[in-house]
A and B are shown apart, each in its own frame.
Chain A
């Protein structure tokens, strides 16, 4: 319990007593960060609520412009990636380094699939002239405030996509560290907290999908 104990394993930083304390601290820190992320998206959700209450018919009309099929595929893809990242953590806990690396790679692959599909969706909107803000030229939606919906759509999905990109970078970094053999059942803190982050990115999308695509 001393914070100056004699024998530190190499992965334990100098200011921690032991591996458990370091693990618990890192995990708590990540949870606090996730709360902060929720508040960050919360602002956008709040704007969504306000404008949906003001212009309910706009949201119904605009949702028809979004491709529900590809949105649903992307939802399945992200939930699948959450499963594989959980399996990666499980592999680390059981000291199965091969499983860890494979699961991390599958997670990255699924995240890339998500981004590619999202890219095609964006490209299709741009072709129609559905650009954000001043650049909006689409004629097919008969509502004077049509660009408010797409302002919110692009902000929500754009900020989310940015989180996916950061997640891909983080998981790739974890993969490189796993390849160097840095993790084992005693030490897998970075895998665990990156997994936590990834679950949040997934969860945000699970809210975005029905809120944007499935408005009846």
Chain B
């Protein structure tokens, strides 16, 4: 029994609490899996952990769908002329691959699936601020998905995931169903963002001041701000597009006095911040994993925390770099080009701080850490090629080529998805209480790394030589690059299947993971694995920063010692 002087989030003034140490049970009898069982209990639950897992399941399903489409596309591109599908089908496949991967996988993947699970735990809260809205966001996501399936079952979609006018107002495919699906999906994203902002502000356990927030929380905070500010603009854009198709209101139609470039401005005002909505939560995961497996305090805590907010801010000012060739004024393109370079700075700050964290750390190469290194390598390539694309003269040459395709796959897949895999392997023991096979997991990571580079490195080369994106056929000189890329995508596919296999197997026959298998100082690890329905059976009290590895573990397991808690 001891006392600690900390300030609770709800009042902000310092108070002295009686605290004692709570050692989490290594073999918990009651977990959120064993309480409130049954299908109905899951479907109506307001527990953030169950909702997070249901999101994880939905996202995995869509990832499988988008992945199969990608493999079909790559297979078609094995030969310069038609290989096995029609040109129209090809157009539909790349559109759906893009739309599914962006809206149904990458945007919700880290915040709504992993974030939902760990955010309240890292804050020492019992749940998110608005648990029912959290469940509502899941169902809204599913309704959005149903709309998209209706489109698939009717005429498909062939506009590309960007829905550019005027083609999207003329195409005979089911544009309205998909735009309405994405419109609905946006609400899910907004609700998650709103929920997280309120939770981070108001539901922190005693002692978690802003300077003691885990960097994952800072990243999710920056993400939530972008979700709340950017998504409504996409919503109104899609609504205008729908009205354009239904009524012909003319806002994006030049023959009626409107401007199709205005659509591009509106669309990218959302969709560029959306790139950061996808990648910034990945940054949060990297910060958590890299400290845990270096057993060392993060280098430059505030630099990493605030650079997330800086990215969120500058991310709103760079949308015009998608439109260098759309007839923007020369002044606007120069300004957008400059701002694009600027956004590289906070991102670079993060990379350098992570690398500095490794210096003199005792590095343990477990699977999540392997993915961190994969991330650092791939994301840096993605980031640097982004700077090249931000340069006006280079972009005019590279615009709409495979170079751009390779760039955003290095960022979105090499960045976000690899970070997601890092997070999934890192928190898997916490979420399920089971440990996966470490050896198979490393083989999986190696396959992903090799397959990924084999798929996308050739695309940089052929893009720089002028191979346009979205083309169904190509000239013979690109054959070798396309074939290498396709074989790489198969290796990538095998890698994902292996991951699915050993993760599923760990659920059936995996070893029991202890409450804290990695020896992390993070608050989410000071609960049982899997956690109790209410996350902790005490109120956690935090006196140290989340990365204070130089301090003993017992200082990280404190909780309020009051009469009520002792009865537990």
Residues in A lying within 8 Å of B, measured CB to CB: 1-6, 13-18, 20-21, 24-26, 28-29, 32-33, 35-37, 39-44, 46-47, 50-51, 54-55, 132-135, 144-145, 147-148, 151-152, 154-155, 159
In the complex, the chain B residue whose C-beta lies closest to that of A2 is B539
Q: Which of B9-17, B32-40, B53-61, B323-331 contacts A (4 or more CB under 8 A)?
A: B9-17
A-B CB contact pairs (8 Å), 6 listed: A15-B126, A39-B232, A148-B250, A148-B258, A154-B249, A159-B236
Q: Which of B158-166, B278-286, B401-409, B559-567 contacts A (4 or more CB under 8 A)?
A: B559-567
Q: A15-B125, A36-B194 are in contact. Are A43 and B206 (CB under 8 A)?
A: no
**B127 at interface, CB cutoff 8 A:** yes
Contact B250 A28 (CB under 8 A): no
- In the bound complex, how far is the Cα of B302 from the Cα of A149, in angstroms? 49
B202: contacting residue among A24, A55, A148, CB under 8 A: A24
B236: contacting residue among A20, A24, A40, CB under 8 A: A40
Pairs of residues from A and B, 4 with the lowest C-beta to C-beta distance, nearest first: A145-B257, A151-B249, A133-B247, A43-B236
Contact B565 A4 (CB under 8 A): yes
> Which chain B residues in 8-63 approach chain A with CB under 8 Å?
8, 10-11, 15, 17
Contact A5 B564 (CB under 8 A): yes
Contact A28 B203 (CB under 8 A): no
Q: Which residues of the partner chain A approach B10 to less than 8 Å between Cβ atoms?
A: 1, 17-18, 20-21, 24
**B130 at interface, CB cutoff 8 A:** yes
B9 to chain A, nearest CB (A): 8
Q: Which residues of the partner chain A approach B231 to less than 8 Å between Cβ atoms?
A: 36
Contact B232 A47 (CB under 8 A): no
Q: Which residues of the partner chain B approach A15 to less than 8 Å between Cβ atoms?
A: 125-127, 131, 203
In the complex, the chain B residue whose C-beta lies closest to that of A37 is B232
Contact A47 B240 (CB under 8 A): yes
Q: Which residues of the partner chain B approach A25 to less than 8 Å between Cβ atoms?
A: 129-130, 198-199, 201-203
A29: contacting residue among B15, B195, B256, CB under 8 A: B195
B295 to chain A, nearest CB (A): 30
**B486 at interface, CB cutoff 8 A:** no
Contact B236 A4 (CB under 8 A): no
Q: Which residues of the partner chain A approach B243 to less than 8 Å between Cβ atoms?
A: 132-133, 151, 155
- In the bound complex, how far is the Cα of B240 from the Cα of A43, in angstroms? 10
B249: contacting residue among A2, A5, A14, A155, CB under 8 A: A155
Chain B's interface: helix, strand, loop or mixed, by majority? helix
Residues in B lying within 8 Å of A, measured CB to CB: 8, 10-11, 15, 17, 124-127, 129-131, 190, 193-195, 197-199, 201-203, 205-206, 228-233, 235-237, 239-240, 243-244, 246-251, 256-259, 262, 266, 269, 534, 538-539, 560, 562-565
Q: Which residues of the partner chain B approach A16 to less than 8 Å between Cβ atoms?
A: 203
- In the bound complex, how far is the Cα of B17 from the Cα of A1, in angstroms? 9
Q: Which residues of the partner chain A approach B564 to less than 8 Å between Cβ atoms?
A: 2, 4-6
In the complex, the chain A residue whose C-beta lies closest to that of B235 is A40
B130: contacting residue among A29, A132, A145, CB under 8 A: A29
Chain A's interface: helix, strand, loop or mixed, by majority? helix
A151: contacting residue among B11, B230, B251, CB under 8 A: B251
- In the bound complex, how far is the Cα of B232 from the Cα of A41, in angstroms? 8
Given A1-B560, A4-B539, output 19 extra A-B contacts at Cβ < 8 Å: A2-B560, A2-B564, A4-B564, A6-B564, A14-B126, A21-B10, A25-B198, A25-B199, A29-B198, A39-B230, A40-B232, A42-B233, A43-B237, A44-B240, A144-B257, A151-B250, A154-B249, A155-B239, A155-B240
In the complex, the chain A residue whose C-beta lies closest to that of B6 is A1
Q: Which residues of the partner chain B approach A28 to less than 8 Å between Cβ atoms?
A: 197-198, 201-202
Contact A1 B11 (CB under 8 A): yes
In the complex, the chain A residue whose C-beta lies closest to that of B568 is A4
Contact A33 B194 (CB under 8 A): yes
Q: A32-B194, A43-B232 are in contact. Are A1 and B250 (CB under 8 A)?
A: no
Among A1, A13, A21, max chain B CB count under 10 A is at: A1
Contact A132 B198 (CB under 8 A): no
- In the bound complex, how far is the Cα of B250 from the Cα of A4, in angstroms? 57
Contact A47 B202 (CB under 8 A): no
Q: Which residues of the partner chain A approach B248 to less than 8 Å between Cβ atoms?
A: 133-134
- In the bound complex, how far is the Cα of B252 from the Cα of A50, in angstroms? 12
Contact A3 B124 (CB under 8 A): yes
In the complex, the chain B residue whose C-beta lies closest to that of A146 is B257
Contact A43 B127 (CB under 8 A): no
Q: A15-B125, A40-B236 are in contact. Are A1 and B8 (CB under 8 A)?
A: yes
B228: contacting residue among A20, A36, A41, A132, CB under 8 A: A36
In the complex, the chain A residue whose C-beta lies closest to that of B233 is A43
A36: contacting residue among B126, B232, B539, B562, CB under 8 A: B232
Contact B202 A147 (CB under 8 A): no
In the complex, the chain A residue whose C-beta lies closest to that of B537 is A4
Q: A15-B131, A29-B198 are in contact. Are A2 and B562 (CB under 8 A)?
A: yes
- In the bound complex, how far is the Cα of B181 from the Cα of A74, in angstroms? 34
Q: A29-B130, A50-B259, A135-B247 are in contact. Are A1 and B232 (CB under 8 A)?
A: no
In the complex, the chain B residue whose C-beta lies closest to that of A29 is B198
In the complex, the chain B residue whose C-beta lies closest to that of A23 is B202
B332 to chain A, nearest CB (A): 14
B205: contacting residue among A3, A37, A55, A159, CB under 8 A: A3
- In the bound complex, how far is the Cα of B198 from the Cα of A76, in angstroms? 34
- In the bound complex, how far is the Cα of B249 from the Cα of A51, in angstroms? 13
- In the bound complex, how far is the Cα of B192 from the Cα of A32, in angstroms? 12
Q: Which residues of the partner chain B approach A50 to less than 8 Å between Cβ atoms?
A: 259, 262
Q: Which residues of the partner chain A approach B201 to less than 8 Å between Cβ atoms?
A: 25, 28
In the complex, the chain A residue whose C-beta lies closest to that of B191 is A33
Among A3, A4, A42, max chain B CB count under 10 A is at: A3
- In the bound complex, how far is the Cα of B425 from the Cα of A201, in angstroms? 46
Q: Which residues of the partner chain B approach A17 to less than 8 Å between Cβ atoms?
A: 10
Q: A1-B8, A40-B235, A147-B249 are in contact. Are A21 and B190 (CB under 8 A)?
A: no
- In the bound complex, how far is the Cα of B48 from the Cα of A15, in angstroms? 11
Q: Which residues of the partner chain A approach B199 to less than 8 Å between Cβ atoms?
A: 25
Q: Which residues of the partner chain A approach B565 to less than 8 Å between Cβ atoms?
A: 2, 4
A160 to chain B, nearest CB (A): 12
In the complex, the chain A residue whose C-beta lies closest to that of B123 is A3
Q: A25-B198, A147-B249 are in contact. Are A1 and B257 (CB under 8 A)?
A: no
In the complex, the chain B residue whose C-beta lies closest to that of A47 is B251
Q: A36-B231, A145-B256 are in contact. Are A44 and B124 (CB under 8 A)?
A: no
A189 to chain B, nearest CB (A): 12
B253 to chain A, nearest CB (A): 9
Q: Which residues of the partner chain B approach A29 to less than 8 Å between Cβ atoms?
A: 129-130, 194-195, 197-198
A147 to chain B, nearest CB (A): 5
Q: Which residues of the partner chain B approach A51 to less than 8 Å between Cβ atoms?
A: 251, 257-258
Among B125, B250, B560, max chain A CB count under 10 A is at: B250
Among B131, B231, B257, max chain A CB count under 10 A is at: B257
- In the bound complex, how far is the Cα of B533 from the Cα of A71, in angstroms? 54
Q: Which residues of the partner chain B approach A151 to less than 8 Å between Cβ atoms?
A: 243, 247, 249-251
Contact A132 B251 (CB under 8 A): no
Contact A39 B233 (CB under 8 A): yes
Q: Which residues of the partner chain B approach A152 to less than 8 Å between Cβ atoms?
A: 251
Q: Which residues of the partner chain A approach B247 to less than 8 Å between Cβ atoms?
A: 132-135, 151
